[in-house]
Structure 1
Amino acid sequence: MKTFTPKPADLTHDWYIVDATDVVLGRLASQVATLLRGKNKPTYAPHADSGNYVIVINADKIALTGNKLGKELYSHSGRPGGLRRDKYSELLKNKPERIITSAVKGMLPKNRLAKVQLGRLRVFAGSEHPHAGQNPQVFEIQQVSQQAK
């Protein structure tokens, strides 16, 4: 039996929409990273770009467990003195997209393919998105936060 290697003609990029309302950040990020890599397809290969487009809506309603509201998210611009640190509590109010993007980025492989896969992630704070023309399939995450119940 030979190993199956997908050809470029075999690769399809489907669109999925995920609602982040009352979903724990880590659970959401791991499911989204799986969809972005294409691991839900039978034609998955780690070296091939078989990933999907993922739309995350309601990013401002995500559940943060533990003491993450006091935790800081660090980023660096690459310039001298360019270290930036923002608290999760402030980011949840101002830019909740950045929280989800950085969590998903940490769960992708550290290679050139990750940049392409992360480029297929679309995160929106509200429930409206401009990608209705792509007819995204709804991807349901079953486990919601215990605090939300």
Structure 2
Amino acid sequence: MTKTAKANEITRNWVVLDAKDKTFGRLITEVAVLLRGKHKPCYTPNVDCGDFVVIVNATQVKFSGMKLEDKEYFTHSGYFGSTKSKTLKEMLEKSPEKLYHLAVRGMLPKTKLGRVMIKKLKVYRGAEHPHTAQVSKSK
């Protein structure tokens, strides 16, 4: 008989990922799997089974090809002519937290469940983070 996980039965761990010299896309897919809980045997699609993820050294990640100069992110406020664009390099220097959240959010469900999952992602520019008491394992 298939056992489905209940929200109160789930144990959540804290995972620290060091982004230094890792490829951005591969790191983001690993984060998405951890946030969804697909690495656990008790995975249930309609329950938040995932762990908390802390990413350190966010600005020292690697990109392949010419993505730093060529890839652009667009924002639009809804008003005419208000489209703005930033290159990947500008996003990485100014707000790497936003860059990571945008990339991971695209791999999570577009529902209330996905919005709960993305809140368990913590991104920090440097090696220090305030979650040392909760951290149980590093990768």
Same fold (TM over 0.5): yes
Quote the residue 2:99 is aligned against.
Answer: 99
Residue 138 (str. 1) matches residue 133 (str. 2): no
Q: Report the more deviating stretch, 88-97 or 121-130.
A: 88-97
Q: Is the 8 A contact 1:25 1:103 kept in 2?
A: no
Displacement of 1:35 in angstroms is: 0.3
Aligned pairs for 1:74-93 (under 5 A) are: 74-77=74-77, 79-81=78-80, 83-93=83-93
Normalising by structure 1, what TM-score?
A: 0.85
Quote the residue 1:41 is aligned against.
Answer: 40
SS of equivalent residue, structure 1 residue 133: coil
- Cα distance between partner residues in 2 of 1:3 and 1:76: 45
Give the direction of change, closer, same or farther, for the CA distance of 1:42–1:98 in structure 2 (3 Å limit): same
Provide, for residues 23-42 of structure 1, a one-character-per-residue CA deviation record: whole Å limited to 9, x for no partner: 11110000000000011111
Structure 1: any 5+ residue segments left out of the alignment? 140-149
- Cα distance between partner residues in 1 of 2:16 and 2:2: 32
- Cα distance between partner residues in 1 of 2:86 and 2:63: 15
Aligned pairs for 1:48-127 (under 5 A) are: 48-70=47-69, 71-77=71-77, 79-81=78-80, 83-127=83-127
Q: Is the 8 A contact 1:30 1:104 kept in 2?
A: yes
Give the direction of change, closer, same or farther, for the CA distance of 1:9–1:92 in structure 2 (3 Å limit): closer
- Cα distance between partner residues in 1 of 2:42 and 2:15: 17
- Cα distance between partner residues in 2 of 1:117 and 1:60: 23
Quote the residue 2:26 is aligned against.
Answer: 27
Provide, for residues 56-111 of structure 1, a one-character-per-residue CA deviation record: whole Å limited to 9, x for no partner: 0000001011221121112344x425543211111222222222221111111222
- Cα distance between partner residues in 1 of 2:97 and 2:45: 27
Structure 2: any 5+ residue segments left out of the alignment? none
Name the Cα RMSD after superposition. 1.5
SS of equivalent residue, structure 1 residue 69: helix
Q: Report the more deviating stretch, 113-122 or 94-103.
A: 94-103
Residue 10 (str. 1) matches residue 19 (str. 2): no
Q: Is the 8 A contact 2:16 2:135 kept in 1?
A: no
Q: Is the 8 A contact 1:92 1:99 kept in 2?
A: yes
Q: Percent of counterpart pairs with the same letter?
A: 40
Q: Which amino acid aligns with 1:67?
A: M
